Amino acid sequence: METEVDKEILKSSGAELLPDGRRGLRIHGWEIETLRGTILTSLAVEEWESKLQTSHLPEMVFGENALVLKHLGSNTKIHFNAFDALAGWKQEGLPPVEVPAAAQWKFRSKPSQQVILDYDYTFTTPYCGSEVIEKDKEAVERKANTKGEGSLQWENCEDQIDLAALSLKEPILFYDEVVLYEDELADNGVSLLTVKVRVMPSSWFLLLRFWLRVDGVLMRLRETRMHYVFGKDETPTVLRENCWREATFQSLSAKGYPVDLAVYSDPSSISQRLPVIKQTTQKLKIPRKV
């Protein structure tokens, strides 16, 4: 949920709330906003399935939900939405996670239906955000991809997000969390994609998290963190850290960890138990003017 902040604190921090009931604020040349809507209608589901060339979507897709961070001086926009995330899922095309035969029947939509799990029903996505430069109402967009094609490119770097600075006590000017999609895997676990944002007087920070738990089989955590410090560099630079973790229930049990599902309901509490599969750090240099 978004937070309420004293107007004097906002003013002294150089921030102002967005007008017309919008969720978010403007601060030091950035406009940060969260958008919320309902789940996709049946008509919208058909449209998305056609565009994504699939007959499968998560149970709950919040197609209007988004987090948007716009650098006003350059019209650079970093944003997070369900459609691009599912496009990443479709492109990656992971093999389906095997579930016990006794649990497969739960995936039927009709009692007589034959269950064929021939797609990644977990909706695991490599998505780590979308970037766009808006100019004269036209957009030149770089979709998230491994080649980094387009006008905006993330560069590999050795820099690290300053966690010590983030732990300092300072006012939270804006905080919100947005759900992009969710699926309970036919009561076999959970697949959940969310994005959180926190804005302080010194910086903004966000966490995009994909959390998967296939009960008794697998846990998968893919996280993207971004951090921007106001006025730190002559060239505005966003740092991004991606960390993918994964483990089977069997491997955790072999290490002596409990296998009680209640223990694994919160990814924050067990993330360190999951081995790192992939980790990268990148930076995005934002042009001052288009």
* Mean predicted confidence (pLDDT) in 255-277: 83
pTM above 0.85, yes or no: yes
pLDDT band at 80 (very low <50, low <70, confident <90, very high): very high
Of 142-146, 217-221, 229-233, 254-258, give the range with the top mean pLDDT: 217-221
The first and second tokens of residue 268, run together, are 């924050």
Residues 270, 226 contacting (CB under 8 angstroms): no
Task: State pLDDT tens for residues 106-119.
Answer: 554 554 455 567 78
User: CA 57 to CA 48: how far, in whole Å?
Assistant: 9
pLDDT band at 102 (very low <50, low <70, confident <90, very high): very low
* Mean predicted confidence (pLDDT) in 75-82: 96
Residues 125, 85 contacting (CB under 8 angstroms): yes
Residues 144, 84 contacting (CB under 8 angstroms): yes
Strand partners of residue 16: 26
Which pLDDT belongs to residue 134?
A: 79
Strand partners of residue 279: 243
pLDDT band at 290 (very low <50, low <70, confident <90, very high): low
Which pLDDT belongs to residue 289?
A: 64
Which pLDDT belongs to residue 223?
A: 98
Residue 80 is inside which H or E element, if any? Answer: strand 76-81
pLDDT band at 4 (very low <50, low <70, confident <90, very high): low
Instruction: State the chain's mean pLDDT as an integer.
Output: 87
Please say if the pLDDT value at position 145 is more than 60.
Answer: no
* Mean predicted confidence (pLDDT) in 208-231: 95
Range scoring the smallest mean pLDDT among 19-28, 34-43, 246-255:
246-255
User: CA 235 to CA 122: how far, in whole Å?
Assistant: 39
pLDDT band at 234 (very low <50, low <70, confident <90, very high): confident
Please say if the pLDDT value at position 41 is more than 70.
Answer: yes
Which pLDDT belongs to residue 150?
A: 41
Which pLDDT belongs to residue 149?
A: 38
Q: Say which residue, 288 or 126, is predicted with more confidence.
A: 126
Phi, psi dihedral angles at 20 (to 5 degrees): 60, 35
